[in-house]
Each structure stands twice: as structure tokens, then as C-alpha cells.
Amino acid sequence: MIVGLAAAIFIALFGWGSEYFGWADPSGKVQLALATSFVLGIVAGYKSSN
């Protein structure tokens, strides 16, 4: 359930975060940072569960 919630929040921030929070991201660096943090969170969660 937590994984689904995290995925939903990530998709919402990635897709509509700039409109909702009003940040300017013409070069896509904020979206890249969001994607990187999400992937690293998945890797850390997988490593800690094993």
C-alpha cells in the first residue's frame, strides 16, 4: 500500500508539480531530481528488505 501511495505521489509531482507548486523548470532538472530520488528510494528499500 505504501509503495502504491509513493508511486501515485511521484506521478502527480512529476506530471503536474510545476503547475501545482509553481516552480519553473524549463530544462527539466527538477523532474530529473524527482526521478532520481524515486529510483534511489526504490533501490534503498529493496536493499534494506533483503
Task: Compute the chain's Rg from CA coordinates.
Answer: 12
What pLDDT is recorded for position 15? 86
What pLDDT is recorded for position 5? 84
What pLDDT is recorded for position 47? 80
Model confidence band, residue 22 (pLDDT cutoffs 50, 70, 90): confident
What is the spatial distance between Cα 1 and Cα 19, in angstroms, rounded to a whole number?
27
Counting residues of the chain whose pLDDT is more than 90, the rounded percentage is 0
Q: Amino acid identity of 10?
A: F
CA angle 10, 18, 15 (to 5 degrees): 40
What is the spatial distance between Cα 44 and Cα 28, in angstroms, rounded to a whole number?
24
The residue whose grid cell reads 519553473 is 24
Model confidence band, residue 24 (pLDDT cutoffs 50, 70, 90): confident
